[in-house]
């Protein structure tokens, strides 16, 4: 890419084809973080980021009886649940001390650990992989640093992603855990637009601390961020201000997250075991800022509504599971 001071330039493809532009938008996303261990290049070691990855896994699955999933985040647990439902013996190896550690609080992590183990998933926390073993070029087992060997005909890696910042670096844009942008999705040159997984943006949640920044990896963010960028292309600087939300389907558990729980100082737990409902509400200085909701869509919608309107849900009253959260919005 060759750019001019006014934001115009020419992008040159790998074939040499030239693409002149008046304005440039980078929606280059992120790529799977590669797992570095002996044997990680064996056939049967797979990632899950795009449609081709999914089709490859689909082709491998019928021949496999044992699957090891490295990574206890959303991708790893969703895939583990699906493969277990197909009758596979699934082992999940999580490097950290808890599941989904970057996305949910400790109580929600513990809930998922308990429920997945009850369903028969073999989950190892603080797991350290020494080597992936193979036979005739195909994966056959995973060896832990403890010496334990776990049979596997498929090893699925889900240990996060790395933002694709290379084009931004060539353009001289500011890079810091992604390509840094302002509230209107504009990069440091004041012309280039950057959206989605690759963008490091000001926290869009209303009332977030000044200067707090975040990189969001979600479908909802990609859609909403693109709208802000489209406004900027038309000469309107609309600040991205919205409530991030996420979801994850794991077996019969549907997790919905509203808001961002970073910086919370109080949490309230709501659980109805007989209905499989589990919610954790997060507060900062008495104000609701986020919620993790499992099989509790009404809780999710109430918190999302309160956050969008800048209203609160009383923390003391919210602990009563017989009370619907929407009646507490004030």
Q: Say whether pLDDT at 241 is over 90.
A: no
Give the residue from 47, 110, 102, 107 showing the smallest Cα distance to 79: 47
Give the whole-angstrom CA distance, residue 125 versus residue 90. 14
Q: Say whether pLDDT at 1 is over 90.
A: no
Give the whole-angstrom CA distance, residue 172 versus residue 178. 13
What is the pLDDT confidence band of residue 208, given thresholds at 50, 70 and 90? confident
Q: How far is CA 219 from CA 38, 51, 223, 229, 244, in A?
A: 34, 15, 6, 16, 10
Q: How far is CA 191 from CA 42, 174, 176, 236, 241, in A?
A: 44, 13, 18, 13, 20
Report helix, strand or coil for 151: strand
Q: Which residue has the higher pLDDT, 119 or 207?
A: 119
49: tokens are: 């980021």
Domains defined along the chain, listed by start = 2-30+162-233 (3.50.50.60), 34-159 (3.50.50.60), 245-328 (3.30.390.30)
Averaged confidence pLDDT in the chain: 95
Instruction: Enumerate helices (H) and strands (E) in the chain, giving the number of each.
Output: 6, 23
Q: Say whether pLDDT at 210 is over 90.
A: no
DSSP code per residue over 237-250: --------EEEEEE
Q: Say whether pLDDT at 2 is over 80.
A: no
Contact 271, 278 (CB under 8 A): yes
Quick: pLDDT tens for 168-191.
999 999 999 999 999 999 999 999
Span 81-89, mean pLDDT?
97
Contact 164, 29 (CB under 8 A): yes
Give the residue from 291, 294, 315 showing the smallest Cα distance to 303: 291
Contact 92, 108 (CB under 8 A): no
Q: Say whether pLDDT at 7 is over 90.
A: no
């Amino acid at each position: 890419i060759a750019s001019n001071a006014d934001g115009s330039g020419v992008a040159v493809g790998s074939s040499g084809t030239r693409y002149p532009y008046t304005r440039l938008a980078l929606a280059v996303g992120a790529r799977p973080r590669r797992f570095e261990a002996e044997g990680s290049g064996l056939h049967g070691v797979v990632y899950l980021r795009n449609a081709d990855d999914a089709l490859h896994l689909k082709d491998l699955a019928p021949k496999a009886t044992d699957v090891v999933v490295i990574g206890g985040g959303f991708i790893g647990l969703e895939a583990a649940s699906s493969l277990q439902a197909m009758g596979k013996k699934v082992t999940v190896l999580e490097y950290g001390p808890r599941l989904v550690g970057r996305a949910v609080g400790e109580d929600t992590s513990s809930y998922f650990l308990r429920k997945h183990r009850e369903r028969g998933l073999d989950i190892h926390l603080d797991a350290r992989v020494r080597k992936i073993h193979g036979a005739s070029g195909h994966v056959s087992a995973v060896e832990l640093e403890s010496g334990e060997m776990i049979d596997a005909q498929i090893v699925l890696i889900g240990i996060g992603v790395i933002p694709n910042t290379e084009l931004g670096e060539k353009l001289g844009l500011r890079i810091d855990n992604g390509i840094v942008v302002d509230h209107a999705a504009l990069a440091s040159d004041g012309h280039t637009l950057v959206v989605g997984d690759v963008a490091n943006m000001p926290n869009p949640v209303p009332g977030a601390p000044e200067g707090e920044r975040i990189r969001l990896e979600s479908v909802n963010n990609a859609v909403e961020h693109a709208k802000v960028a489209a406004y900027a292309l038309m000469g309107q600087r609309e600040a991205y201000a919205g409530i991030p939300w996420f979801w994850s389907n794991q077996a019969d558990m549907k997790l919905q997250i509203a808001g961002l729980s970073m910086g919370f100082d109080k949490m309230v737990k709501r659980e109805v075991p007989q209905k499989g409902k589990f919610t954790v509400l997060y507060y900062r200085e008495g104000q609701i800022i986020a919620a993790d909701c499992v099989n509790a869509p009404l809780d999710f919608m109430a918190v999302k509504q309160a956050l969008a309107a800048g209203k609160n849900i009383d923390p003391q009253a919210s602990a009563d599971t017989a009370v619907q959260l929407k009646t507490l919005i004030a």
